[in-house]
Amino acid sequence: MRQPPGAPLAHLDQLADTAALGVTLPDGRAAFLVRVHGRVSAFENRCSHRGVPLEAEPHRFLEAGGELIQCAMHGALFLPESGECVFGPCQGRRLVAIPISVDAEGQVHLAME
């Protein structure tokens, strides 16, 4: 669902530890949030290999171990803290990071807001 300007992207409760959530930014870009070991990060949902969405099923952005972001198309693996591709055809390139902040109530916002 596309978030209106100023609205939070999500609440931490939607991101149980080691979980992911697809969102649509107010400008219409597809993005996703991941929470790995309690740290939340966000990226555009566009693989740095072919520019396609990473997930094959809704909200499935992490590999089975829940530690790395995975592209379902060719299996590239990305670090959740930086978006750097560490395995696969785009190794060394990065996902486009979305700056976010988490407020005291656990709401996740775009950092520019």
Number of CB atoms found within 10 A of residue 81's CB: 12
- CA dist., res. 39 & res. 35, Å (int): 5
Instruction: Select from 56, 37, 54, 42 the least CA-distant residue to 3.
Output: 42
19 vs 73 by CB, closer to ligand FES: 73
**What pairs with residue 70 in β-bridges?**
77
39 vs 50 by CB, closer to ligand FES: 50
Site for ligand FES in 30-49 (CB under 6 A): 47, 49
110 binds ligand FES (CB under 6 A): no
- Residues in the interface with ligand FES (CB under 6 A) total 10
86 binds ligand FES (CB under 6 A): no
C-beta of residue 9 within 8 angstroms of C-beta of residue 23: yes
50 binds ligand FES (CB under 6 A): yes
10 vs 76 by CB, closer to ligand FES: 76
CA angle 102, 97, 91 (to 5 degrees): 140
**Binding-site ranges for ligand FES (CB under 6 A):** 47, 49-50, 52, 71, 73-74, 76, 88-89
